Amino acid sequence: MILLNAGGSLSDPSWIRTEILVKDHPGLSGVAIPQIDDVGRTSFAFPSMDLLLRIEGADIVTCKLNAPAGIVSLRALMFREELIHVRRDILLRASRHHPTSKMA
């Protein structure tokens, strides 16, 4: 299960985190930073464990996190930017199907 938590505050206007719960793998569960890598794949960084988790179909692939903190932050911003576009598209489609609803 992946719970996405995104928002902003005055001290950190662009934070985005995920809570990941992997059944039967408590070592792969916890708070992660969502990423979009150089080839457009979504992954989840666990900087405190130096671990990167990627979901490929029904499989979970883990590897060593080989990115400095600045790259992890940049990739999180890329994820957030993509999320903004996806959210906009979903709201536009919803407004076409339900013309009386208001976009948030």
- Digit-by-digit pLDDT tens for the chain (104 residues) are 777 776 655 455 466 778 888 787 777 788 888 888 777 888 888 888 888 888 888 888 888 998 888 888 888 888 888 888 887 888 888 888 776 655 55
Tokens of 79: 């994820």
Q: Measured between alpha carbons, how far is 24 from 98 in angstroms, rounded to an integer?
A: 41
What's the pLDDT score for residue 96? 85
Lookup: tokens for 85: 């576009």
Q: Which two tokens stand for residue 66?
A: 């080989």
pLDDT of residue 9: 54
Q: Exposure of 45 by Cβ count < 10 A (0-12 exposed, 13-18 middle, 19+ buried)? A: buried
- Nearest alpha carbon to residue 89 among 72, 70, 103: 103
Sign, CA dihedral 44-47-49-50, equals: positive
